[in-house]
Amino acid sequence: MTRRSLVAALAALLVAPAAASAAPALKIDVVSNRADLISAGDALVAIGVPDGVDPATIQVTDDGRDVTDAFAQRANGRFEGLVTGLDLGANELRATADGADPASVTIANHPNGGPVLSGPQIQPWVCTNGSSDPQCDAPATYRYEYKSSLDGQLHEYDRDNPPSDVADTTTQTGATVPFIIRIETGYQDRDQYQIATLFRPDQPWEPWAPQPQFNHKLLITHGASCGIDRQSGTAPSVTGDTVIGDSPTVALGAGFAVMSTALNNAGHNCNLVTQAESMIMAKERLVEQYGEIRYTIGTGCSGGSLTQQQVANAYPGIYQGILPACSFPDAWSTGQQLSAYNLIRRYVEDPAKWAPGVAWDPLSIAAVEGHPNHVNSIVFDSVYWTDLGVPDDGCAGVPDDQVYDAETNPGGVRCTLADLMINVFGPRAPQNFAGIPLDNVGVQWGLEALRKGQITPAQFVDLNEKTGGLDVDAQWQPQRTEADATTLRRAYRSGAINTANNLDRVAIIDLRGPDPGAFHDAYRSWAIRARLEREHGTFANQVIWFGQAPLIGDPRWATEALLTMDRWLEAVDADATDRPLPAKIVADRPPDVRDRCSQIPGLEQVGAVCENEQLQTRYGTPATVAGESIATDTNKCALKPLRRADYYPLVFTSDQWSRLQRVFPTGVCDWSRPGPEQQGAVPWQTYQEADGTVIYGGRALGG
């Protein structure tokens, strides 16, 4: 062989692999959910077919099982199919075609009854739906309602005897259809979900060919409160309630799907992780049965706002826009306020026992609590502290004789939110009860009131000396409450304490009314704003609408906020630039979407949210009076030495100073620094290994 022919042969060998790799490649897109979080044995899958490749030659297998018949060229232009019969655990989906490189993806399938990412499920659990399945699984059922052209209200729709007064609606797709709603009710993750859509009973609906009225948008409704039930419940209404008004019905009339889950109702389940998990599963069900979703909006008051804001931060992408009303940022920074009220109430409401010789009146109590109405702390403490922290108060689904009692039943079920979230916080020695991310070491109750002359040095010293703390059973103890580092770290990493570090990825319209002194403190809307500004240097993705109606601002605003959020997200969805999502949300906010408020005569002006500086109430908390910022997400403070100079020109007697030194032997709070273990949520954590064993504290899935 000549030198020239040898060179040519070697060149041919080098070129051949490159030529072979130039074949177009198939692509597999798991449409219905993340491939690692699929549940119930099915997944909607699209095969990306390159130009020049004949779809008729495509073969699709699931772990070698031929599932090609599930696929076809669909009306939406995709080669798509619903793959069923997936095994629990890993499934390799593989696609091949003539003239194309193959593609494969691993789908991790989880049980319909869960869990998907929350880890081993809490026991006991009672199925209240009559199911004999321990996971409460039951076939989906369907019922119909219609909007009457006579009274504008919703009524039951009888398919066999259709009423004559069915109103019409024209959706955002331009389709004019009868206003008939189908409500699907089913069970996932041991609890109920509901999905409602405008529906033509006489016409087919496939996920790749939905009925033409569907606009591919989703509204999620939520319940209220904060609870720890251990039994299945009822999903919140998908047609409206007294707080969110008729906004779900308006959404349905525009072509939205409306969805809820019992587990996203914080009054039934205040566990951040199972709240998120239930919505992940229900959204998957919706996509597989109804079609893809362009974007999702959340709505709800109180516990509904709590769910939206803590889930949006810990699992970004579940929502694209949220409409929190009567706002709560999360359960566990709120828990810090609750525990403070519990301790301060014990002291100021029994002066004969705790404060003999030290006078406390309503004004000095208000100065310490940061709120003019002490009833606020009474109601808040009475309603929610038992659920958050008292283990022997009982919980739905657990017979009284199975509930924990430190003396008579130490191995019983502990009815606390921490124990409901034990996969997040982990067990704590020596009892192996769940850790609790609450702490008041170094907190100087009433510090700002002291500096303003609203309480005396004698009151300040006595208060801090005698409020004490709470033990693992929420029983009073003379020493301060101290959280361990591991529990705190997990609380922050999980998003259970919502620092808003991922909350810039969602558009927010916060609906807020004046503070009526019934624990829905108005300052919390600004707490989220402060957290956003600290984490991102801006709060431009959040607007506050402050109105005259207590809690919600204005009863008309729920529907207006929905339509406004829809305009905002339409603009974001249409943004084809390569700028990051947070930048798109800010840049694409319509010019008229901004802070607003209505006149509320006679109330204290404590800060303006509106350009015309109208009035609003925005009180504080015991922690803000103690020196914490309005962000109020430092559940354990950094410490600095106790120094007389820090109180100048106030003077303590030698006895008073000695007492303060005993109360604060390790120092007092330095609110200028982040607290120990304070950090942002790590998004999309799972609390279970592939084999189902628990990962205490979680591990990031990525995303």
Over 80: is that where the pLDDT of 612 sits? no
How, if at all, do strands 180-188 and 176-178 pair? unpaired
Report if residue 68 sits inside a domain.
yes
Looking at the fold, whether 165 and 301 belong to one and the same domain comes out as yes
Instruction: Report pLDDT for 691.
Output: 92
Let me know whether 255 and 147 are in one domain.
Answer: yes
Whether 154 and 297 map to the same domain: the answer is: yes
Q: How many domains does the chain have?
A: 2
Q: Would 98 be classed as within a structural domain?
A: yes
| Distances 408 to 45, 401, 471, 473 between C-alpha atoms, Å | 54, 10, 18, 14
Query: In this model, does residue 606 exceed pLDDT 60?
Result: no
Task: Name every residue whose Cβ is closer than 8 Å to that of residue 39 and which is 6 or more positions away in sequence.
Answer: 33, 109, 110, 111, 112, 114, 116, 188, 281, 284
The residue from 242, 274, 308 where one domain ends is: 308
Same domain, 69 and 179: no
The answer to whether position 31 is within a domain reads: yes
pLDDT tens digits, 128-143 = 999 999 999 999 999 9
Tell me: do 181 and 237 sit in the same domain: yes
What is the rounded average pLDDT of the residues 612-634? 84
Range of the domain at 27: 20-110
Q: What is the band of 10 on the pLDDT scale with cuts at 50, 70, 90?
A: very low
pLDDT for 549 equals: 79
Q: Is 208 found in the same domain as 104? A: no
Residues 149 and 286 in one domain: yes
Q: Which of 110, 126, 160 is the last residue of a domain?
A: 110
Whether 385 shows a pLDDT value over 90: the answer reads no
State residue 609's pLDDT score. Answer: 55
- Percent of all residues in the chain with a pLDDT value above 90, rounded to a whole number: 85
> The domain spanning residue 99 has which CATH number?
2.60.40.10
- State the Cα–Cα distance between residues 417 and 420, nearest whole angstrom: 5
Regarding whether 43 and 151 lie in a shared domain, the answer is no
Q: Are residues 183 and 224 in the same domain?
A: yes
633 domain residue, yes or no: no
Residue 2 pLDDT more than 70?
no
Q: Given 308, 323, 358, which residue is the final one in a domain?
A: 308
Distance of CA 316 to the CA centre of its chain: 9
In the prediction, which pLDDT does 19 show? 44
Question: Mean pLDDT score of the chain, rounded to an integer?
Answer: 93
Q: Are residues 102 and 157 in the same domain?
A: no
pLDDT over 70 (residue 282): yes
> 391 is written with which tokens?
């283990």
Selected residue with higher pLDDT from 207 and 384? 207
Q: Name which residue leads in pLDDT, 478 or 10.
A: 478
Looking at residue 552, its pLDDT comes to 80
Residue 602 pLDDT greater than 80, yes or no? no
Q: Compute how many other C-beta atoms are within 10 angstroms of the C-beta atom of residue 1.
A: 8
Residue 302 shares a structural domain with residue 156:
yes
Over residues 434-440, the mean pLDDT reads: 97
| pLDDT surpassing 90 at residue 601 | no
Query: What is 628-648 written as a DSSP string?
Result: --TT---SS--EE---GGGGT
Residue 215 in tokens: 């606009």
In this structure, is residue 70 part of a structural domain? yes
Q: Does the pLDDT value for residue 9 go beyond 70?
A: no
Q: Is the Cβ–Cβ distance between 189 and 230 less than 8 Å? A: no
pLDDT at site 610:
57
Is 405 within the bounds of a domain?
A: no
Lowest-pLDDT range, 354-358, 439-443, 533-537? 354-358
Does residue 349 lie in a domain region?
no
Angle (nearest 5°) at CA 626 between 480 and 460: 75
Q: What is the pLDDT of residue 597?
A: 77
**Which pLDDT band, with edges at 50, 70 and 90, does 506 fall under?**
very high
Cβ(362)–Cβ(371) below 8 Å: no
Is the pLDDT at 181 greater than 90, yes or no?
Answer: yes
What percentage of the chain has pLDDT greater than the value 70?
94
pLDDT at 16 over 60: no
| Secondary structure (3-state) at 138 | coil
Residue 294 lies in a domain: yes
Is residue 33 located within the same domain as residue 157?
no
What does pTM read for this prediction? 0.94
Cα angle 668, 673, 677 (rounded to 5 degrees) comes to 95
Q: Which of 260-274, 348-362, 618-632 has the lowest mean pLDDT?
A: 348-362
pLDDT for the residue 1? 45
Is the predicted pLDDT of residue 13 greater than 60, yes or no?
no
